[in-house]
Structure 1
Amino acid sequence: MDPTASTPVTTSAAEIEKSLRARLRDGTYAVGTWLPSLRELTAEFAVTVPTIHRALGPLRDEGLVIPIKTLGMYVGDPDQPDAPPPSTPPVRVMDVRKTLRARLRDGTYPPGTQLPSLHDLCTEFSVGPHTVTTALTHLHTRGHLITGPDGSRLFAPPSMPRRRTSSAA
């Protein structure tokens, strides 16, 4: 399954569990990092929260993911069940998106310059590639980023879309 696909293919809890298990195995979700939020997972897989809970249940039971009330779930290591959770709260897609949009607006990333690599952004934000890719896709679909001729993402030109403000009449 392509985590950046706009139309997910998997819909059952078993299929979602299999997809998440594969991401845990291949390092997309590394030990000691936060999983995407339930909201992000439900949006990605186009399912309800109970379906995501059913998919995460076996992973939780095996110690592969560990829930922390009000913060989310992080990737655990079954061989080290007493390892502490990540020291920082989870960074969400919205946090990455807001930070990048602010940098575009304040000139930190000048128009026309190439976006840092996916690896560099993942390292900077301490998140997996899915979180960064989702944030970039959001910015791209709203015109804040353009794709260069070689397929690399570039920052938007100076006429970047602005947030609409309501004016009192």
Structure 2
Amino acid sequence: MQFKQLPAYRVRRVAESILDMAEELFTRHLDIRVLDWRVLVKLAEAPGSIPTEIGRDILMTPVQTGRSLLRLRELNLVVAVPDPADGRATRYTLTKPGHSAYQAGMKIVLEVQAFAMRDLSPVETVALNGLLDRLMASTAYTPEDVDRLSRVLFGDTRDSA
């Protein structure tokens, strides 16, 4: 099997294509990146989140999270407030322009998704969503799964020190 025929490659290629189009629209109309918009999504769903919660929940590194929050603060899309219970922590919420950017971003994402799936019938769309749900569930793994596959592939190569 050729690399470009692997399902993982194909899924990633589709995701990158969709993301690239969305990124162009976000830059053109909102002056933010898709990554920044994901922070707005988190704050729309959970106002008052701290950076570690934001990063963890939307799969961003601490550096990515910090940069996005800084950018969003500069654009007045989020506001930072000290946590009253823990003075060392900072909580973030959306501003009114932040809510507007979140909503505009949602329109972009939905329209780009519709564009990407324009050739699929409603039945195919339902089937694809079901398959993606199953694939996401089946690709979740534990350290034990990694150990098992490592043994299958390479035998027991762990140091016994």
Q: Same fold (TM over 0.5)?
A: no
TM-score, structure 2 as length reference: 0.32
Larger radius of gyration between Structure 1 and Structure 2: 2
Structure with greater helix share of residues: 2
TM-score, structure 1 as length reference: 0.31
